[in-house]
Amino acid sequence: MVAGYNTISMGTGRKEFNPKKERPGIEEYMREAGQAVIKMIGGAQNVDEAVIGNFIASRFNRQANMGAFLPYIDEGLRYKPAVRVEGACATGALALVTGIRSVLAETADVVLVLGIEVQNTVKAIYCADFLAAAGWAKERKDGHAYFFPGKFSDRAKEYYAQFGKEKTRQAMAQWFANAVENARLCPTAQEHHNTTKDLFALGMTEPNPKGFLDSLNVFDCSKVSDGASAIVIVSEEGLKRIGIPKSQAVEVIGFGQAQEDITKPPSDHTKLSTTEVAVKKAMENAGITKEQLATVECHDCFTIAGIMATEAIGFAEHGKGPDFVLEGHTKRTGKIPFNTTGGLVGWGHPTGATGVHQAITIWEQLTGIAGDSQIKINADRPYGLTINMGGDDKSLVAIVYKRAE
């Protein structure tokens, strides 16, 4: 993968965001990200095909048939084959895997992958209703008004009961603080302009079941976001065609994909079992261990999900994720930096773009072009991992990367 580009993750938290002012449409975000990447690879003529990752524009934007926007991005993409994929919040990584498979199948040498979502088109309660489509529709009627926050509030409640509320809440607050601190270093992040002095105290705000949820506060949740992210997936021949040296690319070493039954509740609310399976597949496919990872981009749609991800990967034992976070291991200066541009809580969560943004963050880190967000990549730990989750741990894609040589 090479030539990544993120638009601003737009929503509350950005100075330029105003719900009363007209904002770019979904096609404008696609054009910005697409044109930026096309310029980096020497023009649209170098693109063989495209994959568009979009979850639910048909509801938020009353727009489907997303592949037909390619010529709008650039006239040179006219008549190029394209497919749109959807896997709820894992849509972006599913688009990446679709592009990877095209290259592996030798049907394309250069695949443009673009993830896109524009969600600030409706009020929050209607947004929650649309996003509930990532779960089982038959549960919607009896589910919480804020459907997915409710799902992860249930997970947090069970985690509190088994492993203690105080320490878990502290770890969730620390996760929030780390996310915003990292987002402040990334100019495209939704929380880039956040100037709160005591982030930990804000994260420790007691959940209010009358106004929101019984086990999560609003700072535990990723925000509604608009944005697009694009990157290209290339074969070695494709890399030569676009004239970019290997040193500026990352190699896909392995990936894992897993699905769970959307009609069934989690067997254990305190575990991300499908995440664990997908990560295990990716690591085995790559032939590496967790000790060789330099950094991780995980799907922290909620702070409790980030903590549980440390356990699903194997960095912490079941129930010890809060200790792992509170000991500082997931900070950018810690043992294994997580979400160096803020993750979903800090950078934002434009649903269809999230998995692509994760890949771009890893690409920037491993090639040393992450700017103020850059962390140290040690030679004995040269790998990056992304984990993109759809629904309540139902659709998972994990990918392992290494700087190309």
Q: What is the DSSP string of 154-206?
A: HHHHHHHHHH-HHHHHHHHHHHHHHHHHHHTT-TT-TTTT---S-HHHHHTPP
Note whether 176 and 283 are same-domain residues: yes
Note whether 235 and 342 are same-domain residues: no
Query: How much is the average pLDDT of 361-390?
Result: 97
Residue 276: pLDDT above 90? yes
Domain that holds residue 166: 161-223+254-399
Note whether 234 and 294 are same-domain residues: no
Whole-number Å distance between alpha carbons of 270 and 158: 6
- Residue 185 covered by a domain: yes
| pLDDT tens-digit series, residues 318-367 | 999 999 999 999 999 999 999 999 999 999 999 999 999 999 999 999 99
pLDDT value of position 65: 97
- Residue 153 covered by a domain: no
CB neighbourhood size of 187 (10 A): 14
Note whether 219 and 229 are same-domain residues: no
Note whether 243 and 360 are same-domain residues: no
CATH at 98: 3.40.47.10
Extract the tokens encoding 168: 């878990």
Residue 142: pLDDT above 90? no
Query: What number of helices (H) and strands (E) belong to the chain?
Result: 14, 9
User: What radius of gyration, in Å, describes the C-alpha atoms of the chain?
Assistant: 20
* Cβ(386)–Cβ(399) below 8 Å: yes
Whole-number Å distance between alpha carbons of 249 and 377: 15
Query: How much is the average pLDDT of 283-288?
Result: 98
- Residue 404 covered by a domain: no
| Helix (H) / strand (E) containing 237 | helix 236-242
Note whether 7 and 85 are same-domain residues: yes
- Residue 135 covered by a domain: no
| pLDDT tens-digit series, residues 38-52 | 999 999 999 999 999
Last residue of a domain, one of 197, 213, 248: 248
- Residue 60 covered by a domain: yes
Note whether 172 and 314 are same-domain residues: yes
- Residue 145 covered by a domain: no
Last residue of a domain, one of 248, 281, 314: 248
Note whether 170 and 63 are same-domain residues: no
Note whether 65 and 214 are same-domain residues: no
Query: How do beta strands 49-53 and 2-6 pair?
Result: unpaired
Q: How confident is the model at residue 124 (pLDDT cuts 50, 70, 90)?
A: confident
Note whether 233 and 282 are same-domain residues: no
| pLDDT tens-digit series, residues 203-216 | 999 999 998 999 99
- Residue 147 covered by a domain: no
Residue 243: pLDDT above 90? yes
Note whether 342 and 201 are same-domain residues: yes
Count of structural domains within the chain: 2
- Residue 189 covered by a domain: yes
pLDDT value of position 306: 98
Task: Give the predicted TM-score (pTM) of the model.
Answer: 0.97
Last residue of a domain, one of 192, 213, 248: 248
Note whether 87 and 116 are same-domain residues: yes
